[in-house]
Amino acid sequence: MKSSNIKKKKSYRRILFSNRLLILLFGYSAAWFNSCGHKESRGPFSFFKVQNQAFVKNDSFHFIKGANYWYGGHIACTDSGLERLRSELDFMKNQGINNLRIMALSEGDSTYKYRIGQSFQSELGVFSDNIIGLDYLLAELHKRNMTAVMVLGNNWEWSGGFGQYLDWHKGKHGSNILPKTENWNWGDYCKYISQFYSCEFCKNNHWNAVERIIKRTNSIDGILYLEHPAIFAWELANEPRPMQSESWEDYKLWIKTLSTQVKSIDSNHLITIGTEGSISTFRNIDFFKEIHSFQNIDYATIHLWPKTWQWYSGSPNESVSDSTLQKTINYINKNSQVCKELNKPLVIEEFGLHRDANGFSPSESTNNRNLYYTTIFEEIQRNKLAGFNFWGAIALPENVNENGFMQNGKSYSADPPQEEQGLYGVYQSDSLTWEIIKEFHP
- Give me the number of domains the chain comprises: 1
Helix %, strand %, coil % for the chain, to 5?
Answer: 45, 15, 45
pLDDT at 176: 78
All residues at 6 or more sequence positions from 409 whose CB lies less than 8 Å from its CB, including other chains: none
Looking at residue 403, what is its pLDDT?
A: 66
Q: Any idea what the Cα angle at residue 210 is, between residues 206 and 211, rounded to 5°?
A: 115
Q: How far is 154 from 164, CA to CA, in rounded Å?
A: 10
**Has residue 201 been placed in a domain?**
yes
pLDDT for 246: 95
Let me know: does 201 contact 114? Beta carbons within 8 Å.
no
Question: Model confidence over 126-154: pLDDT tens digits?
Answer: 999 999 999 999 999 999 999 999 999 99
Burial 301-325, CB ≥16 within 10 A → b, else e: bbbbbbbeeebbeeebebbbbeebb
Q: Is residue 34 part of a domain?
A: no
Three-state DSSP class for 351?
A: strand
Cα distances (Å, whole numbers) of residue 2 to 17, 75, 76, 77, 150 = 26, 11, 12, 9, 25
Question: Residues of 225-245 as b/e, b for ≥16 C-beta within 10 angstroms?
Answer: bbbbbbbbbbbbbbbbbbbbe
The pLDDT score that the predictor gives to residue 390 is 98
Kindly tell me the burial class for residue 210, based on how many C-beta atoms sit within 10 Å of its own C-beta (0-12, 13-18, 19 or more): buried
What local confidence, expressed as pLDDT, does residue 13 receive?
37
Q: Could you tell me if residue 30 is left (phi over 0), alpha (psi between -120 and 50 degrees) or otherwise beta?
A: alpha
Residue 164 has a pLDDT of 95
Structure confidence at residue 9 (pLDDT): 39
Within a 10 A sphere around the Cβ of 103, how many other Cβ atoms?
A: 27
3-state secondary structure of 47: coil
Q: How confident is the model at residue 175, as a pLDDT?
A: 66
Cα distances (angstroms) measured from residue 263 to each of 257, 258, 270, 339, 387:
10, 9, 8, 21, 23
DSSP string, 17-29: TGGGHHHHHTT--
339's CB contacts (< 8 A; 6+ apart) are 53, 292, 299, 300, 345, 346
CA-based torsion, 321, 324, 330, 332: positive or negative:
negative
CATH value at residue 60: 3.20.20.80
* H or E stretch covering 72: helix 72-75
What is the DSSP code string of 116-135?
-SS-SEEETTEE-GGGHHHH
Bridge partners (DSSP) listed for residue 318: none
DSSP string, 288-300: HHHHHTSTT---E
**What is the residue-wise DSSP string for 287-342?**
HHHHHHTSTT---EEEEE-TTTTTSS-S-GGGTT-HHHHHHHHHHHHHHHHHHHHH
* Interatomic CA distance for residues 361 and 344, integer angstroms: 39
431 located within any domain = yes
Domain range spanning residue 246?
A: 42-439
Residue 36 resides in a domain: no
Whether residue 300 lies inside any domain: the answer is yes
Instruction: State the DSSP H helix or E strand holding residue 354, giving kind and residue range, or none if neither.
Output: none
18 occurs within a structural domain:
no
- What counts of helices (H) and strands (E) characterise the chain? 14, 13
Residues of the chain with pLDDT under 70: 1-43, 172-175, 395, 397-399, 401-403, 408-409
